[in-house]
């Protein structure tokens, strides 16, 4: 055997050894109380933006009347440090105002009509002028505390992870919330501050999961996130597959698919064993699930 051949044999043996050690030490996540519920979990996206102005108390109340399992919402902070629920970083798309939320005081936000532009198509604005406002996160969590929450950190600067962790802990909702973010730094900071709260994977963690899954190396994957919240397709790969759901479950992870508003797709996902369905139309989802 040549010296070069000997070198590659040693590399191969080393890789096999490392993979063996990783497989032996890579444990799935322990079950989290948030997911101790019948699946698929019915999750109202922004409270059900297809039925009422999204991310408002009006929308969340309608979702509660439909008896969904979880309320999904997006969080920012005002200039004076109040956590509020709104999808965008600015108020321009949804209200009669203009400007960045983190540059406005909470009192300023309360002068705006959060239903002014809904439903964002056509001329009808049925809830304009009816007193719908951008709510405080505290008010949403307190009012609907018997439900589960999916809370997405939208704001990066200034950071809001500390305040969000403090609020969830104060209200004793650590077992009833999943925190998500597309921003790695924000989510990593939250995990460090609130390790008992379940979190969703950020984009690079999703990619790393898919690499392991597609290469048949899922037993080597050690997740930090309890949930994968995925679209139907990404990177040209179908993500709403039974194999994805099963491999995630083998590592202690739960899969939600977003944002599904078509009843046929909802029914198909339920048949495939999806963990949760995020929708703007919780009325249709509850009909499909016969709940």
> How far is C-alpha 196 from the geometric centre of its chain's CA atoms?
16
Q: Is residue 31 part of a domain?
A: no
Q: Is pLDDT above 50 for 17?
A: no
* pLDDT value at residue 20: 54
Q: Is residue 12 part of a domain?
A: no
Q: Is pLDDT above 60 for 8?
A: no
* pLDDT value at residue 105: 98
User: In this predicted structure, which of 16-30, 120-134, 145-159, 270-284 has the lowest mean pLDDT?
Assistant: 16-30
Q: Is pLDDT above 50 for 15?
A: no
Q: How many domains does the chain have?
A: 1
* pLDDT value at residue 14: 40
Q: Is residue 62 part of a domain?
A: yes
Query: CATH code at 124?
Result: 3.20.20.190
Q: Is residue 26 part of a domain?
A: no
Q: Is residue 193 part of a domain?
A: yes
Residue 67, number of CB atoms within 10 A of its CB: 11
Residue found by looking up tokens 């046929």 in the block: 264
Q: Is residue 158 part of a domain?
A: yes
**Contact yes or no for 278/254 (Cβ under 8 A):** no
pLDDT tens, residue by residue, 94-145: 999 999 999 999 999 999 999 999 998 888 999 999 999 999 999 999 999 9
Residue 82, number of CB atoms within 10 A of its CB: 17
> How far is C-alpha 132 from the geometric centre of its chain's CA atoms?
24
Q: Is residue 197 part of a domain?
A: yes
The residue among 143, 141, 75, 86 whose CA lies nearest residue 109 is 86
**Contact yes or no for 214/187 (Cβ under 8 A):** no
Q: Torsion-angle region of residue 229: left (phi > 0), alpha (psi -120 to 50) or beta?
A: beta
């Amino acid at each position: 055997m040549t010296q070069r051949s000997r070198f590659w044999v040693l590399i191969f043996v080393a890789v096999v050894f490392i993979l063996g050690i990783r497989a032996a030490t890579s444990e799935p996540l322990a079950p989290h109380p948030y997911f101790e519920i019948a699946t698929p979990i019915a999750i109202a996206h922004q409270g059900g933006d297809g039925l009422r102005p999204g991310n408002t108390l009006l929308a969340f109340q309608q979702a509660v009347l439909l008896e969904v399992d979880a309320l999904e919402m997006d969080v920012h902070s005002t200039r004076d440090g109040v956590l509020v629920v709104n999808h965008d970083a600015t108020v321009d798309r949804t209200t009669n105002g203009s400007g960045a939320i983190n540059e406005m005081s909470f009192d300023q936000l309360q002068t705006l009509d959060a239903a002014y532009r809904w439903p964002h198509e056509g001329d009808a604005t049925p809830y304009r002028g009816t007193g719908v406002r951008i709510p405080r996160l505290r008010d949403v969590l307190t009012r609907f505390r018997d439900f589960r929450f999916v809370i997405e950190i939208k704001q990066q600067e200034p950071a809001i992870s500390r305040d969000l962790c403090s609020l969830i802990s104060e209200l004793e909702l650590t077992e009833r919330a999943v925190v998500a973010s597309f921003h790695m730094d924000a989510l990593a900071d939250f995990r460090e501050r609130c390790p008992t709260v379940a979190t969703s994977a950020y984009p690079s963690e999703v990619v790393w999961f898919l690499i392991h899954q597609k290469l048949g190396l899922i037993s080597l994957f050690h997740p930090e996130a309890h949930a994968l919240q995925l679209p139907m397709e990404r990177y040209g790969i179908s993500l709403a597959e039974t194999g994805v759901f099963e491999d995630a479950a083998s590592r202690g992870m739960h899969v939600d698919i977003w944002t599904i508003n078509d009843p046929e797709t909802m029914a198909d996902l339920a048949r495939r064993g999806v963990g949760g369905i995020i929708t703007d139309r919780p009325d249709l989802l509850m009909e499909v699930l016969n709940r």
